[in-house]
Structure 1
Amino acid sequence: MLHQNALDGQLADLIGNAGVLLFYLVVWGLVLVGTALFVGAFVPFITGDSLLFASGIVAAGASGVDIAVLALGTGIAAFAGDQVAFVLGRRLGRPYLQRHGGRRTQALIAKTEWFYRTFGWWSVVVARFVPWARVFVPVIAGVAGMRYWRFVTANLVGTLVWAVGITVAGYFAASIPAVRMVTYAVAVVCIIASVVAGIRAWRIDRRERASALAGAETAEGDTAHGTAGA
């Protein structure tokens, strides 16, 4: 009887541990394929910030889920996903992007190329917080020939701030009510920073378009003058 009870207890522990392991694998797997396999382009909210924050909240309330293991694994998955996308872009080039998705995806890719040209190294970090950019910036960086170690450093910073940071923020927001206000404050700062970055990018784009238009008009005028002189 005692042996049976011990066996039942071990079986219950095994099932419980399997559930925790499955939880880890689902979260890590979604984060990994979000960028490595372009899944984030179609289900951005399932593979993005909401997933990370929610997983941290679950870790605070679920028995057996270790926030350190969860955050570390999420960081590794996020880093690996971007590395895979970068290598694919570097080795397969622009044709690789052209084979993925329809008009909407191609429009997002064009937007991401401009985003990368505008922000360079920082685009890899900032992109973590922008659903469409998070998916395409790593592969665009590879296509553009960004130096490998520059991408690695940007990817590492983005991973720590986004994957690890948001997961841990969710954990503390759930386990320590006083931290919720801090979390909301950080979210507001991130939103404001995103708006400022967007305005800056819009102004740069306007200047570039105005410059290109002025150059085209000058070239057209020179051509017309040359024709008239002939």
Structure 2
Amino acid sequence: MSAPVQLPGFLQTLAPLLDHWGYVAVGFLLFVEDFGVPAPGETVLIAASVYAGAGRLNVVAVGLIGFAAAVLGDNLGYGIGRFGGRTLALRWGRYVFLTEERLDKAEAFFTRHGGKIVTVARFIEGLRQANGIIAGITGMRWLRFVAFNALGAALWVSTWTSVGYLAGNHITTIYNDVNRYALYLLAAAVILVVALVVRHRRRGAAAGTADEPADQNVNE
């Protein structure tokens, strides 16, 4: 049997869970996180990858289970959004900080950039948990969602399993740096949403102004 692994920093709290449940913990926590339940899905994926690097788990199995759980969880979220709609999402969304204002902004952004957002959302805290639900609410075609969701899951899982497997005790520093840049990316996404909304309103106002003279001529 392999020697016990001392997980570094923030991962240490997951050691008893992985020691007892192993791959089941990885699959379950990733699955429930990806349809909005607050759970340390990303953290357990990284911790399991560190275990794999120390010979306690198989890194290929961690990656495959993580990928399957992530795709299935997001598809359940898509179903909740598609068939439950805004009412259900807002009723339960408050428990994961999904407010009506945030949902409105996310819907506007998804309408124009849905595929790209589903792919990138995996790497952004908050969007990772809500992107399936929002894609369902906005009526994104399921097959299109599945394709981009699978791509995002493959990129996300392969990135963190590789980093966790190779980084070992350096994972805490790497994780903190990555999350810092993810916050910048989220801020940029919010700014882009605001810019798109402002541009849309200005175009609507300009179109209304342009129609006024024509209406006046008809009345005359």
Normalized against structure 2, the TM-score is what? 0.71
Residues 1:55 and 2:53 aligned together: no
> Cα–Cα, structure 1 residues 105 and 23, in superposed 2: closer, same or farther, change >3 Å?
same
Alignment-mate amino acid for residue 126 of structure 1: V
More off after superposition, 81-90 vs 185-194: 185-194
Partner of 2:7: none
CA contact (8 A) 2:105 2:193 kept: no
Q: Which runs of 5+ in 1 are unaligned?
A: 1-8, 10-17
Matched residue, 1:30 = 29
Cα distance in structure 2, aligned partners of 1:55 and 1:147: 33
State the distance in 2 between where 1:23 and 1:193 align: 32
The answer as to 2:87 corresponding to 1:89 is no
Larger radius of gyration: 1
Which structure 2 segments of 5+ residues have no match? 2-16
1:208 pairs with 2:200: yes
| Pair 94,194 (structure 1): closer, same or farther in 2 beyond 3 Å | closer
Cα contact 2:108–2:193 (8 A) shared by 1? no
Q: CA deviation at 1:116?
A: 1.1
CA contact (8 A) 2:67 2:157 kept: yes
CA distance in 1: counterparts of 2:28 and 2:46, whole angstroms: 16
Moved more, 65-74 or 204-213: 204-213
| 2:112 aligned residue | 118
* Aligned AA (2:149): N
Report the count of equivalent residues.
202
CA contact (8 A) 2:122 2:152 kept: yes
Distance 1:97 1:186 in 2: 29
Under a length normalisation based on structure 1, what TM-score does the superposition of the two structures give?
Answer: 0.68
Aligned partner of 2:5 in structure 1 is none
In the TM superposition, what whole-angstrom CA distance separates every residue of 1:103-160 from its partner, at most 9, and x where no partner exists? 9422332232123123121111111112222222212212222222111111110110
Amino acid at match of 1:140: I
Separation in structure 2 between the aligned mates of residue 133 and residue 187 of structure 1, nearest angstrom: 13
Residue-by-residue CA offset, 1:180-222 (whole Å, 9 max, x unaligned): 9999998898777666655544433331232234456667x67
Counterpart of 2:124? Answer: 130
